């Protein structure tokens, strides 16, 4: 359960509770009481997350994952109350996890109407790898059941590596890399085309010195590093 007030709750307590919520939804167990306690939080409890950036990132990733997976079985835009404010998965992804960047600004523009809740609780810094956690939560939740504050960087690295391994195809003959369209829709989040290439090289799906042309395509099944064919998570429309 989520503790009800700031006097009894630390940032990592919130993240631990968000992991329990994510697991409850993922395992189809009774998550209703956890959602009820999340709704009943005093908003000032969430302020504790400002003191711990990894905890805040893990918390909102878990809340997003719980909502995204629950939406697969219920209404497409299923929502819940968080400290009295109604949020859905899209709101968490774009208003909070993307650190104030506008959903429709290709990653280059700030959100013109973030709302009071987002101004108060959004992340301070954008980690572009959150896109792959968001995609996995929506389409392949088995890839990312929950995030831990102490290991959120490693967990995001793992999700990103698996997503890229399943979706990116590099043809060194034509010097073209076929990449998922998330890199086009939010290219500013990744630092533009050069930032995309750097991310791909960091995750060993491009040679370090390669500068291919990028072709943005819908993800298709591909062979991973172990040779196994797998279905890549689809991207949001």
Flag whether 37 is in a domain.
yes
Asked if residue 205 and residue 134 are part of one domain, the reply reads no
Tokens 């208003």 found at: 95
Asked if residue 102 and residue 170 are part of one domain, the reply reads no
Asked if residue 118 and residue 169 are part of one domain, the reply reads no
Partnered with residue 230 across adjacent β-strands are 222
Among candidate residues 151, 154, 153, 218, the one with its CA nearest the CA of residue 184: 218
* Residue 92 pLDDT: 98
Asked if residue 17 and residue 133 are part of one domain, the reply reads yes
Range of the structural domain that residue 208 is part of = 156-230
Residues 6+ positions from 3 with CB-CB distance below 8 Å: 9, 13, 17, 45
The percent of residues above 70 in pLDDT, for the chain, comes to: 89
Asked if residue 226 and residue 127 are part of one domain, the reply reads no
* Residue 75 pLDDT: 67
Among candidate residues 188, 138, 185, 136, the one with its CA nearest the CA of residue 164: 136
Flag whether 236 is in a domain.
no
Domain total in the chain: 2
Asked if residue 191 and residue 140 are part of one domain, the reply reads no
Q: Distance between terminal CA atoms of the chain?
A: 33
Asked if residue 28 and residue 62 are part of one domain, the reply reads yes
> Could you give the angle at the alpha carbon of 109 between the alpha carbons of 104 and 110, nearest 5°?
100
Asked if residue 182 and residue 100 are part of one domain, the reply reads no
What is the rounded average pLDDT of the residues 161-187? Answer: 96
What are 75-131's pLDDT values in tens digits? Answer: 678 899 999 999 999 999 999 999 999 999 999 999 999 999 999 999 999 999 999
Could you give the CA distance from residue 5 to residue 202 in angstroms, rounded to a whole number?
41
What is the rounded average pLDDT of the residues 38-63? Answer: 95
What are the Cα distances from residue 3, in Å, to 18, 45, 108, 112, 114? 11, 9, 37, 33, 27
Q: Are strands 213-217 and 222-223 parallel, antiparallel or unpaired?
A: unpaired
* Residue 225 pLDDT: 38
| 205 CB neighbour count, 10 Å cutoff | 20
Asked if residue 138 and residue 31 are part of one domain, the reply reads yes
Query: Among 125, 145, 165, which residue terminates a domain?
Result: 145
* Residue 62 pLDDT: 97
Flag whether 124 is in a domain.
yes
φ and ψ of 216, to 5 deg: -90, 120
Among candidate residues 173, 170, 175, 172, the one with its CA nearest the CA of residue 217: 170
Among candidate residues 155, 159, 132, 145, the one with its CA nearest the CA of residue 22: 145
Flag whether 235 is in a domain.
no
Residues 6+ positions from 17 with CB-CB distance below 8 Å: 1, 2, 3, 34, 37, 38
Asked if residue 110 and residue 200 are part of one domain, the reply reads no
Q: Please check the confidence at residue 66 and state whether its pLDDT lies above 80.
A: yes
Q: Take residue 147 and report the two structure tokens written for it.
A: 């995030």
Asked if residue 79 and residue 141 are part of one domain, the reply reads yes
């Amino acid at each position: 359960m989520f503790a009800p007030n700031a006097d009894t709750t630390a940032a990592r307590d919130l993240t631990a509770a968000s992991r329990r919520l994510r697991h409850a939804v993922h395992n189809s167990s009774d998550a209703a009481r956890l959602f009820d306690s999340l709704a009943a939080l005093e908003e000032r409890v969430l302020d504790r997350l400002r003191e711990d950036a990894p905890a805040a990132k893990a918390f909102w990733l878990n809340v997003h994952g719980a909502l995204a997976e629950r939406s697969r079985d219920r209404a497409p835009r299923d929502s819940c109350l968080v400290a009295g404010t109604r949020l859905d998965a899209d709101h968490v992804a774009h208003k909070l996890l993307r650190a104030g960047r506008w959903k429709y600004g290709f990653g280059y523009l700030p959100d013109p109407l973030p709302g009071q809740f987002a101004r108060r609780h959004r992340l301070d810094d954008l980690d572009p790898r959150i896109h792959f956690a968001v995609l996995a939560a929506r389409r392949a939740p088995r890839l990312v059941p929950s995030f831990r504050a102490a290991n959120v960087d490693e967990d995001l690295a793992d999700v990103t590596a698996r997503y890229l391994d399943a979706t990116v195809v590099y043809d060194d003959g034509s010097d073209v890399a076929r990449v998922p369209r998330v890199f086009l829709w939010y290219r500013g989040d990744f630092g533009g085309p050069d930032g995309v290439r750097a991310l791909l090289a960091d995750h060993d799906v491009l040679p370090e010195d390669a500068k291919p042309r990028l072709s943005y395509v819908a993800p298709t099944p591909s062979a991973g590093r172990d040779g196994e064919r797998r279905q890549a998570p689809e991207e949001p429309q």
